[in-house]
Amino acid sequence: MNPKHWVPIAIETLTQLLEILHHPVFTHWEYACISSYSQLHISLLSVLSMSPENREAPVIIVGSGPSGLATAGCLSALSIPYIILEREDNFAPLWTQKSYDCLHLHLKKQFCDLPHMPFPSSFPTYVPRKQYIQYLQDYMVHFNISPLYNRPVIESFHDEAVSKWIVKVKNVISDEVEEYSCRLLVVATGESSDPLIPEVEGLDSFAGRVMHSTEYKSGKGLEDKRVLVVGAGTYIDEGDGIHWANDDDVFEITNSCDRQNSGDAKLACVWGFEQVWYQEARGRPLHNEDEVLPGIERIRGNEVFFKDGKSHPFDVIIFATGFKRTTKMWLKGSDDLLDNDGFAKPCPSYWKGKNGLYCAGLARRGLSGAKMDGMNIANDIKAMLSQGCP
């Protein structure tokens, strides 16, 4: 049987089986099994959808974070076909792979849900990371969203001759270059896509451990360490004896984090300064043992020298120095839509560019902005297609 015939049948069968397993009669333990099955279901759909016959669609979405999923959900609700490409091996990688254990949503849940599917009433007001990931997974199942994983984009441009966007990706599994095409392209690669560690003189000589905040999970294993957190964002403390180094203004640390399973770890829960990384403040001022330091001048071995002429020894340095966006390195023809840093340019329709190019979640408006972007983009795409988009 030709793949284009059996793929829809396989998708329909898997979806029906998932709906049966989600029946309320199942116990909590069985639901845990269902959760694992849901991810298997999504992965199978991804495999079934990668044949060459399926590499063209009216819409291609790049990125399967909340912005990409919101757009996909809205397109599904409007019965508009699309392909969604993801460079990592899982959906919403910032949440599933690059966030730490005690992360919670900063805003109340009614401001953070995705289109057409509110959070369950049983979820707390400030949703913890694990439940948010489960919500995203359930959202994907509900709208049959099946990203093609392990496919970083290496080049994308608008082919004027055929009025289509060409998207070339590297299939990390097969090590082959795959080419996709679409009339309308949605960039949903996220504001926090690529961790940024600034150049610091002597950093390569540091004998201890260096990490970006995306690598930090909990204080376990870092007990009694001297930890330096570099960055001027909002930080969540898990212990005493923490030091912050800022290159600009000094920020008071007022948040706290659950110290469960962290023992006596002298480590801050480090949050980047992007919106998605914030958590509800629980009101703890700086401890007397904590110290805010000026910017770093240089590093020699374990000794860190600061701009005030003082130095201190450290065992661990955590860079909470934010992110960079590399979208414009592979996306050609986006100057009217994105600035040099990869953010949406400020304008009334900041999410829409020329030649059918859109961006979702790149306007520094957090999860609520991602939701609105997804809805606006899907509605505009529906109008474009109904008018006979070239």
pLDDT tens-place string over residues 56-108? 999 999 999 999 999 999 999 999 999 999 999 999 999 999 988 888 998 99
Q: If we measure between CA atoms, which residue out of 272, 361, 279 comes closest to residue 321? A: 272
Task: Give the pLDDT confidence score for residue 164 in this predicted structure.
Answer: 97
- What are the structure tokens assigned to 338, written together? 């994105």
Helices (H), the chain: 3-21, 28-48, 66-77, 93-96, 129-142, 327-330, 366-386
**176-187 and 303-306 beta bridge pairing:** unpaired
Which residue type sits at 222? Answer: L
The answer to whether the beta carbons of residues 46 and 69 sit under 8 Å apart is no
Q: Which domains does the chain have, with CATH numbers?
A: 55-193+325-386 (3.50.50.60), 195-323 (3.50.50.60)
Out of 151-155, 195-199, 237-241, pick the least confident.
237-241
Q: What span, in angstroms and rounded, lies between the C-alpha atoms of 357 and 370?
A: 16
Quick one: pLDDT at residue 231?
78
- pLDDT of res. 232: 57
| Confidence band of 223 (pLDDT split at 50, 70, 90) | confident
- Tell me the pTM: 0.76
Q: Rg of the chain over CA atoms, in angstroms?
A: 23
**pLDDT band (50, 70, 90) for residue 273:** very low
What crossing angle do the helices spanning 129-142 and 28-48 adopt, rounded to 10°?
Answer: 50
Spatial separation of the C-alpha atoms in residues 207 and 308, rounded to whole Å: 23
Confidence class for position 14, pLDDT limits 50, 70, 90: low
Strand partners, 166: 157, 181
Residue 166 has what pLDDT?
Answer: 98
Q: d(Cα 52, Cα 157) in Å, to the nearest integer?
A: 20
Between CA 62 and CA 42 the distance in angstroms is: 17
Of 314, 331, 334, the C-alpha closest to 268 is 314
- Integer angstrom CA distances of residue 3 from 9, 220, 268: 10, 48, 51
Mean pLDDT of the chain: 78
What is the C-alpha to C-alpha distance for residues 228 and 267, in angstroms, rounded to an integer? 8
Measure the CA–CA gap between 154 and 262, rounded to whole angstroms: 40
- DSSP state letter for 119: P
